[in-house]
Structure 1
Amino acid sequence: MSDERKQINLSFSGDNRFASSMMQGRFLYFLEIHSPLACQPAAAALALLKEKSRELAALPQIFAFVVTDRLLSEDCHDPYLAAEAISTGSGKPVIISISGKGSSAERVKGILAEAKAQGLRNFLAVSGDCPRQEQLADHPGRQHLDSLEILQTAGHFGPGLCLGAAVNPFKYTPEDQCLQYAKMVRKLRSGANYLVTQAGWDMKKAQELQWFLQKRAFAVMVVARVCLLSWEEAQQLADGYRPGIYFSVPLGSALMQDAQGTQEEFQERQLRRVARQIVGYQKLGYGGVQLSGLRDPALLQKLFGLIAQEESSNPDYDHWLKNWNDAYGKHNPAPGLGAHYLFRGLMQPGERDYAPEKHPLAGTRLRRPARLDSWRASLGNLLLAGSRPPVWWRRILQLLCRLPEEELQRLRPCFYLDNSSCPKGLRLGPCGGSRQDGRCEDGSQPCFFQRVMRLAAARNQFGTLEGDYDDTAKQQ
């Protein structure tokens, strides 16, 4: 990939406060606000949002708001409605999330058009989680749009948009970690101007992402999503949390133990932990944090006061690292001793930034692809331009992929493997919702894209996962 592709373009029309702040290198605070549920009357819900955002905007530390899309449920009002109310009420920039959950390209275009008409230019593409069984029953045949397809749709929508993409660095198998970073590269090559990470507590993984971007020379702002759990959520951690957000047994047990005290004591511990983590993100070179689970101005004010204290007592990376390890090092955030990390030497004193000579890649051996998968990929290669495979070969591939011949090329990004085992029907790369052991977020099987990853490794075609085919298609 050429160097000019690695430098992110930050030239936008309209409200460009976000883009300007990215170029200035400021550390920014974004506040996450949910789109109202569809069962709530729109006028009343939006009026409340407008008033609440006006109250929250009085906090000078809050730079912008992020409106989620279908995070609470698939049945939510479209996010541009909430974004308009918040923009009017707060006078601050608003980022509109667009979820692929139950979405289509037409829905994405509609949201983009409505938002652009209101002068809103900032968007974040997310794949969204799997619909629950009752939602599938209510909406049979609902499709799921890949966040990469959302980015590509927005990219064709016209200039002047600031587009963000999500990445989940908290992956602990070699396949999952490599797949996440390959999908991230593909998103950057498809026009993403900034990245937002999923929430997590493993700061080695937070540093790992920064080192990967440094190794690949990507100049891109990264915002870390930070969750403040409620007292009730912490008490119920044994029943699981949201897809893609992992709690190790030691960390989850510590949080549940904290929740055995009073709500005030629990809240105080969480705020201090979050404040120190946010300062850690500052020291690791992140451009900001997206605060989730906080809507009380008094709590936010208290958090910002604690952050100021942490900044004062942690003037540099080494001071922060020692204090972080002293306070939380005993709670291993990774799933056991065999967790995979891409680099050696993470979270060591004096080694904030990536140095090729000091931080080699941690080599790992992947499983060989199944013989039938390799055969499918070989059959698929015969469909490329200039090849005229026998008719019976094409018929076999159609049967294996369960697609008519004219649609077979849609599976080229996944080496012509049948992607029907992915509950979201993704083909361009994985979502971020897989579990810590590499299983799909629905728990039924390993993530489909692990098979794709093994094929890419065996055929030495990692570029396919990063979008080399996309770039070739653009040039034709």
Structure 2
Amino acid sequence: MLREALCQQRFICVVEFVPGLSGERCAVFESMMQRAQLCGWPMVAAVADRVSSSQDLSPLAAYSRLAHSLPTLLHFSGKARERHDLLKQLEQMDAAGLDQLLLLSGDRLPGHEPGQPVRYLESVPALQIVRQARPNWLLGAALNPFKYHEEESGAQYFKAEKKLAAGADFLTLQLGFDMQKHREAFQWMQQRATPVLLLACVMPLTFKTATFLEQVPGVVISPSMRDLLAAEEAISRSHARERSLFRLGLQVIGLRLMGYAGIHLSGIHTPAQLQALEKVIHAQQEGIQTLAQWSAAWEASWQMPGLPTVIFHPEHADWRMGQSSVHATSREQYRYHVLSAVHTLLFSRKNPISRGFGWLCRRPVWRTPRGARWLHQLERRLKGPVVGCDTCGNCRLEDTLYVCPETCPKGLANGPCGGTRLNRCEFGDRECIHSVKYRTARTTQQTHVLTDRLIPCVDADARHQSSWPRWFTPPQKEERHGKPRSSDADAMEKIE
């Protein structure tokens, strides 16, 4: 149904279900989905993956507990996952007759601290893996446009380009309430040579919900939003719930008028709540036929006597698309140019020094257990203090402007997750490395590196060994032995 609705350009309502640890809410969710439509729009179930805990019931397990078959979009979260986990889910989905998947890198795994060896299978290589294994499946990915510094916002759109190139059929916006950012994302998509359809995640917002969401990475709740929601809560809880549902209905109408293909509805858990939302939307639609009418109604819904005008962005941070003023620091530029020169000298394979170094790295001694350990330790000790290398066995520095992806706590190479806040990493202890990459790319005119090069995941069996012999191994030889191909072969894949 989701594929048909998107192809026919019918507005669609994707309803998110979070199974939790036991899946005890499956029956209630199923009763809600029996309605099949919201305001005449087809409804599709979306089963979330590892939202509250890594011990949550899996999307497939939750789906199997439904008494009746439903049109369903499963999620796959890459946190604490490897390639084999994804391939296993594909086989299980085949057995269940499912072929629609939303691929996410995933937010911070509970208990994960920087420096711990937790891997995240990020969405770009995950999309490539699924697209290659299941060419005809319907695949989606996420975009978070609710960013208010140029670096983090620009990096989000750069990564979105990669997701589309990797095979995403549609994008779903992460949760946000700044409708100007919704317009920005839609305009960005329409400016692409081959735009795809956009969905937007929405949910009812009360003071209690906002207090929780303030702790969710990537979700922006401004102080003025919080003050208005608190004032509504002070009148009564029923009044606050009524206002939150009213604004949710308005947001849905606005997204439809903007041209969004549908909504990804969260926070609605019962048939009664869904019926109340439908009633609100029907009542509002009668008087709102244009975006101008909607804009006036949306602005009025966020006003309250005695309170200042609500703004949806963080204080002193309101970057909008089209503005560009960032510049890499002198240290960042110096670092890039020095490492680029060293790379050209040793790893270009074109000059005598590089060819000589390559000859040395291909000696049989490095294929012995002792030689491999020694070379691994040498590379780690040389590169670790300079770039933070974790010797992943397949060096990607050339594709990341010499900012090592292993210095990201999630190990993301293709771009940022959605959890940054004003350039700060979701873990809170550093600036996001992808903001540094964005500044460097802008200053050195290398932005194509961050949009065009799809970086594959590093498999578990390739880690903690030297990347140098593999770098200099001819592609044909590696293919004959069934090993990962060298960077030159990867580059040809990227071009194709």
Q: 1: distance between equivalents of 2:384 and 2:195?
A: 42
Residues 1:283 and 2:246 aligned together? no
Deviations 1:264-293 (A, max 9, x none): 211101000111111111111111111111
Residues 1:186 and 2:162 aligned together? yes
The alignment yields a C-alpha RMSD, in angstroms, of 2.7
Give the aligned length: 428
Q: Find the partner of 1:63 among 29, 43, 51.
A: 43
Shift of 1:430: 0.6
Contact 1:227 1:291 in 2 (8 A): yes
Residues 1:227 and 2:227 aligned together? no
- 1:117-156, aligned counterparts within 5 Å? 117-133=95-111, 141-156=117-132
Shift of 1:319: 1.1
56-65 vs 284-293, which moves further: 56-65
Shift of 1:228: 2.1
Residue 80 of structure 2: aligned partner? 102
Residues 1:473 and 2:492 aligned together? yes
TM-score, length-scaled by structure 2:
0.80
Q: 1: distance between equivalents of 2:384 and 2:407?
A: 16
Amino acid of the structure 1 residue aligned with 2:492: A
- Note the residue ranges of structure 1 that are not aligned, 5 or more in a row: 1-16, 343-360
Shift of 1:53: 0.9
Q: Structure 1's 406 and 246: CA in aligned 2 closer, same or farther, altered over 3 A?
A: closer
Q: Structure 1's 461 and 200: CA in aligned 2 closer, same or farther, altered over 3 A?
A: same
Contact 1:374 1:455 in 2 (8 A): no
Q: Structure 1's 264 and 448: CA in aligned 2 closer, same or farther, altered over 3 A?
A: same
Q: Structure 1's 74 and 261: CA in aligned 2 closer, same or farther, altered over 3 A?
A: farther
187-196 vs 157-166, which moves further: 157-166
Contact 1:49 1:85 in 2 (8 A): yes
Query: Secondary structure of 2:93's partner?
Result: helix
Amino acid of the structure 2 residue aligned with 1:256: A
Deviations 1:289-327 (A, max 9, x none): 111111111111111111122222110111111222233
Shift of 1:148: 1.3
Residues 1:157 and 2:113 aligned together? no
Q: Find the partner of 2:184 among 187, 208, 233.
A: 208
Q: Structure 1's 442 and 18: CA in aligned 2 closer, same or farther, altered over 3 A?
A: same
Contact 2:26 2:65 in 1 (8 A): yes
Query: Secondary structure of 1:409's partner?
Result: coil
Contact 1:272 1:306 in 2 (8 A): yes
Shift of 1:364: 2.2
Q: 2: distance between equivalents of 1:408 and 1:148?
A: 17
Q: Find the partner of 2:438 among 437, 453, 456.
A: 453
TM-score, length-scaled by structure 1:
0.83
Shift of 1:153: 1.5
Query: Secondary structure of 2:234's partner?
Result: coil
Deviations 1:404-442 (A, max 9, x none): 88835333331232233311111111101001x211112
Q: 2: distance between equivalents of 1:385 and 1:23?
A: 47
Residues 1:295 and 2:272 aligned together? no
Shift of 1:100: 1.0
Deviations 1:90-140 (A, max 9, x none): x4311111001111111111111101221111100111111232x669x96
Shift of 1:257: 2.6
Residue 335 of structure 1: aligned partner? 314
Residue 73 of structure 1: aligned partner? 53
Residue 464 of structure 2: aligned partner? none
Structure with greater Cα Rg: 2
Residue 324 of structure 2: aligned partner? 363
Q: Structure 1's 338 and 398: CA in aligned 2 closer, same or farther, altered over 3 A?
A: closer
Residue 408 of structure 2: aligned partner? 422
Q: Structure 1's 398 and 336: CA in aligned 2 closer, same or farther, altered over 3 A?
A: closer
Residue 349 of structure 1: aligned partner? none
Amino acid of the structure 1 residue aligned with 2:10: R
377-386 vs 145-154, which moves further: 377-386
Contact 2:44 2:70 in 1 (8 A): yes
Amino acid of the structure 1 residue aligned with 2:107: D
Shift of 1:198: 0.6
76-85 vs 261-270, which moves further: 76-85
Residue 347 of structure 1: aligned partner? none
Amino acid of the structure 2 residue aligned with 1:455: T
Contact 2:328 2:440 in 1 (8 A): no
Q: 2: distance between equivalents of 1:297 and 1:22?
A: 25
Q: Structure 1's 84 and 405: CA in aligned 2 closer, same or farther, altered over 3 A?
A: closer
Residue 92 of structure 2: aligned partner? 114
